[in-house]
Structure formats: structure tokens, C-alpha cells
Amino acid sequence: MDTNRMFTLREVAAHGSITAAAEALGYTTSAVSQQIAKLEKEAAQPLIERHARGVVLTEAGRAVVRHAERILVELEAADAELAEIRGLRAGGLAIGTFPTAGSSLLPLLVKEFKTRHPGVELTVLSGRFARLIDALRRRETELSLLWDYEWNRIDDPTLVYHHLMNDPTMLLVSERHRLADRESVGINELRDEAWVVRADDHPVAQTLEKLCQQGGFAPRTSVFAHDYGEVQAMVAVELGVAIAPRLAVLNPRPDVRSIRLSSRPPQRRILIAHLAERRLSPAAHEAIAVSAAAARRLEDGFGGR
């Protein structure tokens, strides 16, 4: 049944006559009569009875009006909910992240966003690069934090990227290491060191190879570690030195020192991305702005560490 005709019948019932309903709706009496006639044809039975003083609803007409009232309530509720979403008072936002951002940048983003918009429900998906891209394409997430290095830039025309910050590579040594008290170290000073390296073809292993190439040597691996906690533990017991992105070691173990590398160390870009074809929600636009501000605070803090 046509809902607009159902609403017209509701007006006829409320005003008691087709003429009064037409005046209230701004239509001609003939137009309202035609709408009621078409609705009765759809219902396959009479919906009103005409009398000298106006019209009354049949039992079927009363049923149609009850349903029209319910539809109007649902439409008003939908309008109110959409208004809340536009005003960031309701709705949801799903964000993808990778582990080192999930333990550093993302908490700042989430805390600030929830302070500003407590009515918006945030959900987070943490994964490796391929999983994060897949989640964007499947629309499981609307935004995702990503990263790349200068020798392996993301080049995907289906995505839009916002550059949030640069994440420099740091040297990790034991507190008892000969270089532990240094503020910065050149890669040439590390040619005789054993190295704790991320396993499973981790991107930081490739970063180490390129860094050592700058110094004219190949790294000698002592341990393959599977996460940065294990990397720090192996460094702490002096099985070798290591490198890590700064975001991975914002809070190093007390027995490990994080030292700047001199002479332009490799750094990765931290990005937030979304599908180019997707029209972003107000919550997503706000999250991009909040993440940029959080990244600036983190990057500004790098100078004091």
C-alpha cells in the first residue's frame, strides 16, 4: 500500500471530512477523493463511509490508520536518529590499527574522541597490513591506521591517505652496553654488533638491512624475535642490539636504552586511510582530525626523548 495515501486517510479521519482534510493538506477535495479511492482499490475493500456530516472509517479503514500512525512514529524516530548521527551524538565508527599504533597513537585518538563524543560507539580491529586493507574494502572498518617506508610506498588508487606523522627508527641497547649513555649513535659504530632481529620477514628486518647497507656492512643475527617485547628482553640480557620504530618503544624496559640514530635514520610514515569511493560519516571526519592532533602531540614529544 502507498504510505502517502495511508497518511492522507489518516488526515481524513482526523478532520472528519474529505473537504476539511483537503484544506489542511493544501490539496483540492477532488485530489483527496482520488487518493482515497486508489487506496481503497489497493486494500480491495471500502475504507470510509460517507454521511451527510462527513465520513467515518470502516473497520478496515481504522486498521489502515493504525498502521499509518505506527509508520509515522518510525519515520520520526529515523529522523531523530539521523539527526543525532549528524550531530555526533549517536552512531558508531570502526577503526583499523596495527599493533605499534594500537599501543601508542590509537589510545590518544580514542580517549580524545570519546571525551568529545561519548554517544558514538567506537570499535577497533587490530591486524597486519593485508588484513587492514581487506577490512577497509569489505567495509568492516571505515578508517584504518597504516604505515609505509620510503622504499615501499603505498600506491593504491582505491584508497585515500592522510599523512599523520613520521616515526623514526631507534637503536635499542642494554643498559650495560658501551653505548648506553650516548644521545645518538652512527651506524658505522655498530658493524661489529650482534643483532636481535624481528622474525617472519617483518618490515623492520628489511629496515635493518637498508640501514646496515648505509654503513657498508651486513648485520650478524643472534636472535629472531616475534614481537617487540621479546626484542627488548633479548637486548636487555645482551644477546645483541636491535632497532625498532619509536612508537614501538615509547616506554622501554628499565634495563634497555633507546638511542637516536644519527645521519638520517629510516623512518616510516604513519597514515590514516579510507576507501576513495566511500562517503565518510561525520564521525570518520572527526576521527581524522582528532588523530592528526594526537599525532602532532606524539611527534612533538619525540624531541624530548
List Cβ neighbours of 279 (8 Å cut-off, separation of 6 or more): none
Within a domain: 224: yes
CA 65 to chain CA centroid, nearest Å: 43
Percent of the chain with pLDDT over 90: 78
Domain's final residue, options 53, 74, 95: 74
Within a domain: 252: yes
Domain CATH for 65: 1.10.10.10
Looking at the structure of the chain, the number of domains it has is: 3
Q: Kindly report the average pLDDT of the chain as a whole number.
A: 92
- Strand ranges inside the chain, DSSP E: 48-51, 54-57, 92-97, 121-126, 143-149, 159-174, 184-185, 194-198, 220-225, 242-245, 256-261, 267-275
Q: Are residues 253 and 273 in the same domain?
A: no
Is 295 a residue whose pLDDT tops 60?
yes
111 pLDDT band, cuts 50/70/90, is very high
Give dist(CA 89, CA 91) in Å, integer. 7
Q: Are residues 179 and 257 in the same domain?
A: yes
Within a domain: 79: no
Percent of the chain with pLDDT over 70: 96
Give helix 59-86 / helix 3-15 axis angle, nearest 10°.
110
**Digit-coded pLDDT (tens) for 29-51:** 999 999 999 999 999 999 999 88
Is the pTM higher than 0.75? The answer reads no
Within a domain: 181: yes
Is 115 a residue whose pLDDT tops 90?
yes
Within a domain: 82: no
Q: Are residues 218 and 107 in the same domain?
A: no
**Digit-coded pLDDT (tens) for 161-216:** 999 999 999 999 999 999 999 999 999 999 999 999 999 888 999 999 999 998 99
Contact 36, 9 (CB under 8 A): yes
Domain's final residue, options 74, 107, 133: 74
Within a domain: 134: yes
124 pLDDT band, cuts 50/70/90, is very high
Q: Are residues 239 and 299 in the same domain?
A: no
250, with CB counted inside 10 A (0-12, 13-18, 19+), is: middle
Q: Which of 187, 231, 180, 225 is nearest to 208 (CA)?
A: 187
Q: Are residues 176 and 256 in the same domain?
A: yes
**Digit-coded pLDDT (tens) for 79-109:** 766 766 676 777 889 999 999 999 999 999 9
Q: Are residues 144 and 187 in the same domain?
A: no
Question: For residue 299, what pLDDT is reported?
Answer: 85
List Cβ neighbours of 28 (8 Å cut-off, separation of 6 or more): 22
C-alpha cell belonging to residue 2: 502507498
* Structural domain boundaries enclosing 245: 170-261
Within a domain: 81: no
State how beta strands 256-261 and 184-185 pair. Answer: parallel
Q: Are residues 272 and 162 in the same domain?
A: yes
Q: Are residues 64 and 134 in the same domain?
A: no
Instruction: Say how many Å lie between the first and final Cα of the chain, rounded.
Output: 69
List Cβ neighbours of 129 (8 Å cut-off, separation of 6 or more): 98, 146, 147
Contact 43, 6 (CB under 8 A): no
Name the DSSP letter for residue 13: H
Question: For residue 83, what pLDDT is reported?
Answer: 67
Within a domain: 113: yes
Is 28 a residue whose pLDDT tops 90?
yes
Q: Are residues 65 and 126 in the same domain?
A: no
Q: Are residues 272 and 253 in the same domain?
A: no
Domain's final residue, options 74, 108, 129: 74
Alpha carbon of 14 to those of 7, 11, 177, 286: distances in Å?
10, 5, 87, 45
